[in-house]
């Protein structure tokens, strides 16, 4: 708990203030605030239609907010010049829910894509770097020769993670990283994430519905409710009496995931 308190006092890597996101007459975010501090694993949860992916896309600069500001490393994402935006993009990695690997390329070629765009190098160097990133996520050299369709669901997630880490970012965005995985593969991914977070000193922002993942990996969690975000440690959220939060963290699925006991063991 002391580490979480210390982290909260750090200068935010991501700072969102007064975010408003509209789609016609529908207001998804209505003055949402969010801070992510260095070296934490920050989980984002919320019910269907609360705009979790919209929030991620806005942070990444893929969508303009209707009001409010988004800062990454102290820079307003919407006001960056092209050269500064390019530099910012190189500072983070992203994985999407379905992996988003290009089906016509091998796994190694997928991993090499960001390297080819930002750091031109010889083919032998690119091959070596792809192998290093495959090993980093627990995949073999021969897996790099396969096409995405030849991989299991868990391997696709790891391959996407290898590509996201290719430029050695310190900030990592994960959109539902364990969605669609069986419990064993999901648990293995969680352990991999904790290992990489520790070894690479990553700051991680993760959208997830997986309660096991939340209880095992997250330092803090931001819950989107009624267009706003309520952020706390898991211990704090377990005491929160907001109806959706109470139902989410104390319902049958939470109890099956280990619920309050798991959160206490992991973060207490």
**195 or 79: whose pLDDT is higher?**
195
Report the CATH fold assignment for 38-57+81-91+169-267: Rossmann fold (3.40.50)
Q: Tens of pLDDT along 75-91?
A: 898 888 777 788 888 88
pLDDT-derived band at 121 (thresholds 50, 70, 90) equals confident
DSSP E strand boundaries for the chain? 14-23, 26-36, 41-46, 67-72, 75-76, 92-95, 171-175, 203-207, 220-225, 228-232
Nearest in space to 99 (alpha carbons), one of 193, 143, 55, 162: 162
- Give the model's pLDDT for residue 5: 40
- Give the model's pLDDT for residue 9: 54
> What are the sequence ranges of the domains in the chain?
38-57+81-91+169-267
Q: Tens of pLDDT along 6-62?
A: 444 578 999 999 999 999 999 999 999 999 999 999 999 999 889 999 999 999 988
Instruction: Give the mean model confidence (pLDDT) for residues 100-109.
Output: 92
Instruction: Give the mean model confidence (pLDDT) for residues 174-190.
Output: 92
Examine the pLDDT at 263 and tell me if it is beyond 70.
no
CA dist list (Å): 208 to 23, 80, 140, 176: 23, 29, 27, 5
- Give the model's pLDDT for residue 254: 60
pLDDT-derived band at 4 (thresholds 50, 70, 90) equals very low
What is the percent of the chain where pLDDT is above 70? 90
Residue pair 208/45 in contact (Cβ under 8 Å)? The answer is yes
Q: Tens of pLDDT along 139-151?
A: 999 999 999 999 9
- Give the model's pLDDT for residue 245: 94
35 beta partners: 15
3-state SS, residue 121: coil
3-state SS, residue 39: coil
pLDDT-derived band at 253 (thresholds 50, 70, 90) equals low
Examine the pLDDT at 265 and tell me if it is beyond 80.
no
What is the percent of the chain where pLDDT is above 90? 70
Q: Taking the CA of residue 191 as centre, how many other CA atoms within 13 Å lie in the half-sphere pointing to its CB?
A: 8
Instruction: Give the mean model confidence (pLDDT) for residues 135-161.
Output: 93
Instruction: Give the mean model confidence (pLDDT) for residues 109-115.
Output: 93
The count of other CB atoms within 10 Å of the CB of residue 20 is 15
- Give the model's pLDDT for residue 11: 82
pTM, two decimals, is 0.87
């Amino acid at each position: 708990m002391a580490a979480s308190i210390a982290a909260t006092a750090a200068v935010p890597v991501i700072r969102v203030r007064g975010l408003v996101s509209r789609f016609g007459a529908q207001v998804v975010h209505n003055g949402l605030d969010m801070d992510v501090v260095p070296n934490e694993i920050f989980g984002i949860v919320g019910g269907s239609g609360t705009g979790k992916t919209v929030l991620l896309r806005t942070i990444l600069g893929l969508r303009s907010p209707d009001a409010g500001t988004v800062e990454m490393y102290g820079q307003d994402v919407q006001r960056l010049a092209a050269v500064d935006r390019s530099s910012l993009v190189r500072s983070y990695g992203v994985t999407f829910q379905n992996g988003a690997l290009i089906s016509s390329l091998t796994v190694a070629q997928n991993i090499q894509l960001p390297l080819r765009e930002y750091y031109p190098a010889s083919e032998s160097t690119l091959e070596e770097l792809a192998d290093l990133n495959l090993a980093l996520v627990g995949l073999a050299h021969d897996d790099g020769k396969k096409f995405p369709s030849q991989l299991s669901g868990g391997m696709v997630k790891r391959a996407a993670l290898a590509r996201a880490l290719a430029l050695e970012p310190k900030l990592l965005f994960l959109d539902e990283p364990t969605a669609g995985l069986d419990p064993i593969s999901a648990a293995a991914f969680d352990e991999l994430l904790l290992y990489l977070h520790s070894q690479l000193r990553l700051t991680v922002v993760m959208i997830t519905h997986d309660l096991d993942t939340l209880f095992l990996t997250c330092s803090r969690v931001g819950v989107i409710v009624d267009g706003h975000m309520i952020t706390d440690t898991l211990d704090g959220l377990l005491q929160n009496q907001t109806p959706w939060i109470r139902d989410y963290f104390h319902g049958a699925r939470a109890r099956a995931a280990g619920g309050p006991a798991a959160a206490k063991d992991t973060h207490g």
